[in-house]
Every structure is written in structure tokens, then in C-alpha cells.
Amino acid sequence: MTQARDYDRVAHAIRYIARHRLEQPTLEEVAEAMGLSPFHAQRLFTRWAGLSPKRFLGLLTVEHAKELLRGAESVMGAAYEVGLSGPSRLHDLFLTFEAMTPGEYKEAGAKLILRWGVHETPFGQALLVASERGLARLVFLEGQTVEEALVEAKADWPLSRFVADTNATAPFAHAAFGGSATRAPLKLLLKGTPFQVQVWRALMRIPEGTTVTYGQLAAELGRPGAARAIGSACGRNRIGVLIPCHRVIRDTGALGGYHWGLERKQALLAWESARRLGAEDETAARPG
């Protein structure tokens, strides 16, 4: 419960900073919004997000959004060129996809045993669903009970057997939010149309801490008029964070919507940016 309460406080701070970013709120003002002293507010926010409230405010500025947009095309193009997703929290852990065969799709997963668990994350509670074939679902419990989230999961896999098993889903939660030292591939079990799977694969090629627009993503896929369809595919993504639909923004530079809340999207982008900048600083500091 402590971690969830900390997330609520930081989420409230994120909303406050975003709402008042043009006024450049001070640490004292942010701390008051969090109901904490400046010292504890700074410590909690930095521990949770990896950067100070002041740095987060900077990452929300228009200039930062422009910087991301300026660099997105070349960065994403390079990532496509080498076939990798770029630097990320998963480091050398590659995500491989096991799309369903037509027969398996027709059976609606009748032979699958899906194990589920609820895990505390830096961004609130999340429901994870996995099988031996890979992770099938990672959704935040945004205004939902566990039972309601399970109803939605079972609607996607109506003939599969669901079993509560947090031990089975814990490695996926650790890979998504805690990093992982393992070199074994992390498999994702996708269920979608060929176009949706194509979009989800493309999302994995956007390097951590950067963004692309729907229009840029459509152009990369050779479908320049498909920005709306790409937005729909992002909305159908049920493996949050690992398939990073939060890295796609509107052509205007606005963040746009997010299935699990705009504040969470802001938090994910700022957290990833901080991690990327920290990794770059660490690399620059190494001798030779």
C-alpha cells in the first residue's frame, strides 16, 4: 500500500506540474501539492522518477517536445536499420513475438492456460497475464477492480483457462519495471490483426526516452495515410510499457491520449528520458 500511496502522490505532483508548467512552480509549491515537506517531496519524487521535480518540469517544456520531434525521425530510422529497439530498461533483453497461427486464432486460445497476477509497479498496480508462449497482457488497474480487469482479459481469451499465479507473472513485471540481468528472450503472445501486429512491432523499435508522431510512424510503415488506423492499433495494445504505445504523440507535438491515463503517459516519458540521459551521462563519464 505504501508504494501505491507514493505513486498517488507523485501522480498528483505530475498533474500539478503539467497544469502549472508555464508558471514554473517552485519545489515548495510542488511539495505543498503533494502534502509533504520540500525535503521529503524532492526525495520521493527523485526516488520514484529518477529525476527531480525541477528536471521533470524541464522535460515537459515545449522545447523538450521539439527536441524529441527533431530527433525522432533519424533515431527511429537508425533503429529500423539495425533491427533493434535501441537503448532501453531491458538492456540486452530482446522481445520476440509469437503471433498466433490462423488455427490457434480460430480456437481462441482453447488450449492455453493463462496465469495471472497483480503486481505493484512505480506507476500503480498492474494486472499481468502470461502463458508458456509468452506475456499476453500488461494493463494498469486504472479505476478498475481486479475482477473487472480479468473480465476484459477473459473476453479476449474466452476459451482459455485462467489460473492465479503471481510467481509466473513476476519475471515479466521485473523485466518491465525493474530491469533484468537475464539474457533469455522475453516472449510476447500477441493477438491481433496482421496490421496491428505490424504496428506493435514498430513501436518496439522506438528507442526509450524518445517519441514519434502518428504521421512519422505511418510513413515508416509505408502507410502515410494510416495515422488514424495506427492510433486505433495503439488503443488495442494490451501489453503496456513493453509495447510502448506511450511513445507516440500527435503531429502537433501534443501528447494525445493514452489508454491508462495522460498523467501516466507523461510519467513514463519523463522517467524514460531521465534514464536515457542518465545512461548517456554515465557513458560520457567513462574513461577512454
Residues in a beta bridge with 249? 213
* Three-class DSSP category at 35: coil
Q: Are 207 and 79 in contact (CB under 8 A)?
A: yes
Catalytic residues: 245
Q: Label the pairing between strands 95-97 and 124-131.
A: unpaired
* Paired residues of 212 in beta bridges: 248
Considering Cα of 260, then 64, then 210, then 53, what sign does the dihedral take? negative
Q: How far is Cα 246 from Cα 50, in angstroms, rounded to an integer?
A: 18
One DSSP character per residue, 187-212 reads: EE---S-HHHHHHHHHHTTSPTT--E
Q: How many CB atoms lie within 10 A of CB 24?
A: 12
Given a contact cutoff of 8 angstroms between Cβ atoms, the answer to whether 15 and 263 are in contact is: yes
Instruction: Give the Cα separation of 162 and 168 in Å (integer).
Output: 12
